[in-house]
Amino acid sequence: MNTTDTTRLALAEAWIAQDPDPETRVELAALVEGARAGDAEASAELADRFDSRLAFGTAGLRGAIAAGPNRMNRVLVSQAAAGLAAYLVEHAEPGASPSVVIGYDGRKNSDVFARDSAEIMAGAGVRAILLPRLLPTPVLAFAVRHLGVSAGVMVTASHNPPNDNGYKVYLGGEHHGSQIVAPADAEIAAHILHVAATSPVDRLPRAAFETAPESIVDEYVRQTAAVAVRPTTQPRVVYTALHGVGWETMSRVLEVAGFDGPALVEEQIDPDETFPTVSFPNPEEPGAMDLSFERAREVGADLVIANDPDADRLAIAIPDAAESHGYRRLTGNEVGLILGWQAAERAAAMVGDSGPNGALACSIVSSPGLEAIARAYDLDFESTLTGFKWISRAPGLVFGFEEALGYLVNPETVRDKDGISAALAFLSLTAELQSAGRTVADHLDEFIERFGCFASSQLSIRVTDLARIGEIMARLRAAPPTSVGGIRVERIEDLSDGFGDLPPSDVLRLVLDCGARVMVRPSGTEPKLKVYIDAVSDAGSVADRRAAASAAVDRLERGMRELTA
């Protein structure tokens, strides 16, 4: 056994000594025993867990639940809580006490991680408030602003695999309840590392925390219900929570807003940390909404609404006879453009002496159609880096979205994506259309008639060797293509040194003839390269525009597969 192995084993044994969780202590002890006995697999697993650490960045923490610094567990979460507490104390106004509100979803250990965080932060001198029970992420994001606290923590891994969990951080005050961005992320990370190096978590002081009153949830429900117009018709709706925490809150919002209860996908309506009916609890994944479509056929639904497990994302499906199961899930861009159009109409209805005001915002990889809407309604438009930590900070925001099923329809209530308020906004629009004898499909056609057809697609180039991603990006920079799929490239914009008002990001943007666009970036969470493709057509009939834009997307897809092979 070499020196590295010996050091790693010592680190593992020190970890076991401070770990309050018997499950992770036992499984790590078994790995240590195996490594000492010469088991190569056990040694490799220890190396994976102890040679690196889950990075605390602008997405907080997220990973599989197991022992070690490169996994999610009670030791790592305790260190994160202590580090965040130190940051809040350091940045508190003179004479003021920092405060935090903490929420959690229905995933494995979410409640345990949340209580550990509350006790440790209270022990560090931070006023710690725990939400009264498992609740959606948007309720936590709302509570940060509603309570006027210094920070918020949500324990969730959103739509990740079942054994994952995570730790998302929001800041109050001048940040208005948005997720952390630089430099706060690096400063918090430095405090966490200091705690990990100097303070075993079994010696961290703990203290009693507060439990938030139910009135916080009541107020979220009340303010969210205000997103809708009181319906004069009742669309037939199917709803699924995908084994997450969305339904209890969603049901209350629908009732207060005046909508009938939807038909439920009963197998998926209650929180279940094992996610038994889906291989991956993400409504974007193939098969995830099959039970929803089955239920929709049974009741003849006009609309299918799906939230992801922590209810910050929204998926929508509408009847479509061309689909084998009778329903088509709209893309994130389609939903975003429809909700953006609705928001622009409302902004125009509230016009003042100086004309419409406010901004529409989306991430750089989302549909350029939102900018066309903003121009048509004389609104400002903001294009941001991916993530609602950026979208939510757009000045004058009235609506924001990103193509990964995230929508912000009520920025004065929540400064994060909110799958519950977005669902209500879409349902309200569906009811208004139905009252006028129209459908969502009709409305999509009307959008194309007015703004053009914005078609989009996304490729995921998976790799086994992470170095391959860097090689592809370097090759595209060194030898930029002059055409993609036979469509001429007008220019390439490299965002690695920043671009305009955008901070530096490892993204290439290819601007092509006829308004087409290709974005290429490494995934921030998985071993893959992501390619986003957009094309637009505004010539001819609705059918002509769809055909032309789709054909351009298909050509660009084939071309990008060749370029990244």
Lowest mean pLDDT among 13-27, 324-338, 452-466: 452-466
At residue 503 the predicted structure's pLDDT band, cuts being 50, 70 and 90, is confident
Angle, vertex CA 423, rays to CA 422 and CA 428, nearest 5: 100
Q: What is the mean pLDDT of the chain?
A: 94
pLDDT of residue 96: 87
* 96-110, 257-271, 377-391, 522-536: segment of lowest average pLDDT: 522-536
Q: Would strands 528-537 and 314-319 be described as parallel, antiparallel, or unpaired?
A: unpaired
Provide the residue type at 7 as one letter.
T
394, pLDDT greater than 60: yes
Question: Cα torsion for 167, 172, 175, 180, to the nearest 10°?
Answer: -10
- Distance (Å, rounded) from C-alpha 162 to C-alpha 159? 8
| 123 pLDDT higher than 70 | yes
Give the largest CA-CA distance in the chain.
79
What fold is seen in the domain 214-451? Alpha-D-Glucose-1,6-Bisphosphate; Chain A, domain 3 (3.40.120)
The pLDDT, as a whole number, for residue 33 is 95
Residue 356 clears pLDDT 80, i.e. is over it: no
Mean pLDDT of 325-334: 96
Backbone angles phi, psi at 550, to 5 degrees: -65, -40
Reported as a single tens digit per residue, the pLDDT across 218-233 is 999 999 999 999 999 9
Per-residue pLDDT tens over the stretch 69-87: 999 999 999 999 999 999 9
- Same topology, domains 75-213 and 214-451? Answer is yes
Residue whose structure tokens are 């929540």: 414
* Tens-place pLDDT, residues 136-175: 999 999 999 999 999 999 999 999 899 999 999 999 999 9
CATH of 453-563, one of 3.40.50.1370, 1.10.150.20, 3.30.310.50, 3.40.1800.10: 3.30.310.50
Helix, strand or coil, per DSSP, at residue 76: helix
The predicted-structure confidence for 234-246, as pLDDT tens digits, reads as follows: 999 999 999 999 9
Q: Measured between alpha carbons, how far is 99 from 110 in angstroms, rounded to an integer? A: 20
Distances (CA, A) of 511 to 307, 361, 487, 534: 34, 20, 10, 10
What is the assigned CATH class of domain 75-213? alpha beta
Q: What is the pTM of this model?
A: 0.94
Percentage of the chain modeled with pLDDT above 90: 87
Task: Please tell me whether residue 457 adopts helix, strand or coil conformation.
Answer: strand
- Is the confidence at residue 525, as pLDDT, over 90? no
Confidence of residue 1 (pLDDT cuts 50, 70, 90): low
pLDDT at 353 over 60: no
Sequence spans of domains, the chain: 75-213, 214-451, 453-563
pLDDT value, residue 95: 83
Residues 307-318: pLDDT tens digits? 999 999 999 999
pLDDT digits (tens, 9 = 90+) for 425-475: 999 999 999 999 999 999 999 999 999 999 999 998 888 888 889 899 999
Tell me what the mean pLDDT of segment 49-60 comes to.
86
Place 58 in a pLDDT band, splitting at 50, 70 and 90. low
Residues annotated as catalytic (active site), given as ranges:
158
